[in-house]
Amino acid sequence: MNILGIESSCDETAAAVYTPDGLQSNIIASQAIHEQYGGVVPELASRAHHKTIWHTVQQALNEGSITLSDIDAVAVTQGPGLMGSLLVGICFAKGLCLSRNIPLVGVNHMDAHIYANFIDDQPEYPLVSLTVSGGHTQLVHVTAPFEHELLGQTRDDAAGEAFDKIGKILGLPYPAGPVIDERSEHGDPSFHDFPQAMLDNDFEFSFSGLKTSVKYFLEDQDNREEFLKNHLDDICASVSHAITEVLVKKLRNAIEHTGVKTVALAGGVSANSMLRRKAEKLAENTGCNLHIPKLAYCTDNAAMIAITGSMMTQQKLYADMDMKPFANLKALERMNVQR
């Protein structure tokens, strides 16, 4: 089936076309307006989606050399995400489906991050996915398509959220994750030993204490501005080390617990270069096959929605036109699904 994927869960308006021949297009319209506020403003995000969604879909169709009449189903993010943003995408998708009399597929955003690994590759089941983004950090045991077991997740801040909040403390622009990653390449990870929380728990995460530790560490310096000027790269490297060490240690626990030979990274933080290197080393040491999406498929995008929608249509996991957005849709949960 030819699938149109639509993603609007946060501040990226995205559309993609996936056909039996693979991914044909993947268009992302970013919202720069949030940078001045140091974070996403929900009302502004939904307004921006409303302004750009039709143009974004048209661009995806044009780049994919396909017309709307060729689309067999529309897959759209149902949650989790910002309610207003989700509403724009879902209402638009419903309108397309009603006008063309084609099926609607509601996609769990976190499922889609996992299945982004299948856009260019075919990971073997069973596998363990470490899914790390701005809103979620979780370990998932995947035994077959949409057969999941949640092993553990963060109890407070997600890894990406920790990067952004710490970046704000350091005076870095939003989003801070990519900036910290780049500066870490020039710093010393052993500069300061920031805490690695909950190592006594096999699969649960906690990152809220890390940002507090960074805050107090900077307050202890006699001249904060001069200290940051001289050691910003080192602090970024030390923060990255603390976060990625926890992620990789928990991933090792999951590998040993499940006995899998396939491991996947997913979510925006899977673009982090330090995490990728450590995951590659872990896979080598454990004899696992490691799968990491291309950078374009790590952050929020519609390609992952389209391929997940394609996989759901194969199992006839369609939604009805009463489908509603769920801002707090739980990991691995699918609502309003009918076979």
Binding-site annotation, residues for substrate:
131-135, 164, 177, 181, 272
For residues 126 and 176, the answer to whether their CB atoms sit within 8 Å is no
Tell me the sheet residues that pair with 105.
Answer: 75
- Whole-number Cα distances in Å, 121 to 9, 12, 22, 247, 290: 25, 24, 11, 23, 11
Beta strands in 109-155 (DSSP E): 127-132, 137-144, 147-153
**Alpha carbon distance 192, 67 (integer Å):** 55
* CA-based nearest residue to 166, from 155, 179, 154, 150: 179
For residues 52 and 12, the answer to whether their CB atoms sit within 8 Å is no
Apex 158 CA angle, 241 and 10, nearest 5: 125
In degrees rounded to 5, what are phi and psi of residue 140? -125, 130
- Whole-number Cα distances in Å, 71 to 33, 64, 104, 306: 32, 11, 11, 12
Binding-site residue ranges for Fe cation: 109, 113, 300
Binding-site residue ranges: 109, 113, 131-135, 164, 177, 181, 272, 300
Apex 163 CA angle, 237 and 306, nearest 5: 120
**Alpha carbon distance 134, 323 (integer Å):** 25
